[in-house]
Structures are given as structure tokens and as C-alpha cells.
Amino acid sequence: MSVAFTPGRIGGRTTRNRVVMAPMTRSRAYGPGNSPTELMATYYAQRASAGLVVTEGTQPSPAGQGYVDTPGLHSDEQVAGWRRVTDAVHARGGLIYAQLMHTGRVGHPDITGRTPVGPSAVRAAGVVHTRSGPQEMVVPEVLDAAGIARTVEDFASAASRAVEAGFDGVELHGANGYLLHQFLSTNANRRTDAWGGDVVGRTRLTLDVAGAAADAIGADRVGLRISPTNPLNDIEEEGHRATYTHLVEALDPLGLAYLHLVEASDVELTGLLRARWSGSLVLNPWTPGRMTGPEDLERLDRGDADLLAFGGLFLANADLPERLRRGGPFNAPDFARAYGGDGAGYTDYPTLAPAPDVDDVAVGA
């Protein structure tokens, strides 16, 4: 049996297995003020058999929203909505972290009524979907020192609200071209002050946010997601190995719950970072052209990581850990219904019939 089906560790908690549900935006926060709904509670509860459930990206402030109908964690009504979700997951014995995602320059005034912010006045190439349809992204407003300080506090405040809402912890989104990743990059961040320029400057915001969240709720409740060399949302990273080895070496003494690595083309970097990280490593493996699947469980058996994150398969297979244990079969996700809508393509995928108990099978029948 693969090590995937043995207990793992996240911070001070033991996980039931080493299969992680990766954070995935679903754009169904239809409650008041972008708050979670009962349908979202059903969705996450269905997937509670994961060793760890990480929620969809959740904005720590109104300025952090970059997509339509994504949830937040900056108001009392959002806390109340998320409490329904966490209660439902915990009722099924699950462990759930809220992913705190500030999208930075990714977004549009038609979504929030405000200009997105970023490290520099550099527009991200590409479009974002608004209620009026797809629109080109805009030049962001540059965060000044006061704006950066507010952003750090927003993350810390959202972390505290997450605990109030019943979450077991938070994952800081430093990947996929969003705000923290923008500061880490060399094309989105063209600053020459203390938050730009060299490796120390470009990693400063991520380190400040991690430290503030750890101070707010305890380091053993805080994880960080990174995606070195991932070009999503028009990101470039010259000298990425120096950036991420410095970042991980500076983070390690904080004692965070985990590091979540979204692997890209530089697969060798995984080993380099693992050697510098003394805590739990969650790996979202590089699988070009396909979704992460059962063949990737060997990465755990080889010791490349402590837990393995699955994205696309979790959309359509709420009981994914059991399906992986049995070797399938797997439902195919309906990506046309991934964002927005009702329960179709969200909570209506079939689950496996319970495996027969050995004592209930007639020997020799």
C-alpha cells in the first residue's frame, strides 16, 4: 500500500491520509457580500475524506478580489458563511484550511469598482472575466509603503477571521501570478525600494505576510503556496533558484505548518527546496498535459514530499482518496461548469458504492 493512505502531519495535527484537495476557484459565493452558501458547505463536506482540504482562493480584503463571485474573509457575514462550511467538514472528520488569495494586478474595475493594485505599474498581459464578459487587464495602482502595510495587516486580520470561522488554519497564496508572486517576480516587480530589486527585496512582502499571519494565529496554523517558474498571469522569474532558496531558508525558522510547492518545469528545484525545508512539504506535481493522478502517488513513496495535492480529479471525485486506494474508476470533470452556476458539475458527481466488508463476502460463493 502506498504511503499516501497512512497518516501525515500538518502543523500540530495528524491527517487521516496524505491526499490533499488543492485550492480551486469555483465562483459560487452567492451569499451576502460574497459570503459562502449552504451549497458550498455541501461541496466541501463531500470532499472531507481528504487528509487536508484547502479552500478556493479567498480574498483577505475587498482590494484583493480579482474574479466574480469569489468569497472573502474580511466581514462578519463572510465569517458566518464560512462557519457553515467548516462545521460541515468537521462533522465528517475533515481538516480544512482557508486559502488567502490577494490577486493583486489580476482583476478589473468592473469586478470591484476599484483599480487593482500591484508592485509596479505593469499591466499583466491577458484578459479577466467580468460580468460584462472578458476584458483586458489594466495597469495596476502601485502599492506605496502605507498600502503594503495595510496589505500585510489585511492578511493577518483575515487569518484571525479564518480561525473565528472555524478553520484549522490558512494557506497564504504566493503562487500562480497573484500579489505575493508578483512581488517575487522580476517582470511584475520593477521597484527599486525595499520591496523590490534584489532577492531580499522581492521576497520581503511574502516573508512579512507569513510572519504577520503566524503572529496572529500561530505558525503551526499557517501554510504557504509557491509556484517557482510558473508563468501563469504573465509572470517571469529570472534567477528563480536564488529567489526561492532564499525565501525557503528565511521561512524555515518560522515553523509554518507546511510549504505547498506547485511544481513546474524545474523539477530538480523540488529536491533543493525540500532539503532546505524542515517542515511538511505538500507537492502539487508537474504533470504537463494531464491532471495529477494515481501514477503520481509514487512521489510520496519516493520521499519527494509528505503530502500530495490533487486538483482536477477532486472536482469530479468527492471520494478521491478511496478511488485512489481502489485504483479507480474516476469521474471526468466537466470543466464547462467549473466556474459559477448551481450544483450541476459541482455537487452532483456520483460517488463509489461502499467497498464490501470482508466478513460480508461469502467465501467460495
The string of pLDDT tens digits covering residues 276-319 is: 999 999 999 999 999 999 999 999 999 999 999 999 999 999 99
Q: Find the Cα–Cα–Cα–Cα dihedral 102, 107, 109, 111, rounded to 10°.
A: -80
- Can you list the positions of beta strands (E) in the chain? 8-10, 13-15, 19-21, 52-58, 96-100, 117-118, 127-130, 133-136, 141-142, 169-174, 222-226, 258-262, 280-284, 307-310
Residue 88: CB atoms within 10 A of its CB come to 21
59/29 Cα distance (integer angstroms): 12
Would the pTM of this model clear 0.85, i.e. be above it?
yes
Has residue 356 got a pLDDT over 70? Answer: no
Q: What are the residue boundaries of the structural domains of the chain, listed by start?
A: 3-337
Query: Residues 316-348: pLDDT tens digits?
Result: 999 999 999 999 999 999 999 999 999 999 999
* Mean pLDDT confidence for 34-60: 98
Q: pLDDT at position 1, please?
A: 77
Query: Residues 188-213: pLDDT tens digits?
Result: 999 999 999 999 999 999 999 999 99
Output b/e per residue, 232-257; b: 16+ Cβ within 10 A: bbbbebeebeebbbbbbebbeebebb
258 tagged catalytic: no
Contact 284, 309 (CB under 8 A): yes
> CA angle at residue 18 from 311 to 245, to 5 degrees?
75
Query: Residues 209-260: pLDDT tens digits?
Result: 999 999 999 999 999 999 999 999 999 999 999 999 999 999 999 999 999 9
Contact 204, 211 (CB under 8 A): no
CATH number of 3-337: 3.20.20.70
Q: Is the peptide bond before 329 cis (omega within 30 degrees of 0)?
A: yes
Q: Show the cell assigned to 81.
A: 458563511
Q: Which of 43, 67, 178, 346 is catalytic?
A: 178
* Mean pLDDT confidence for 100-128: 97
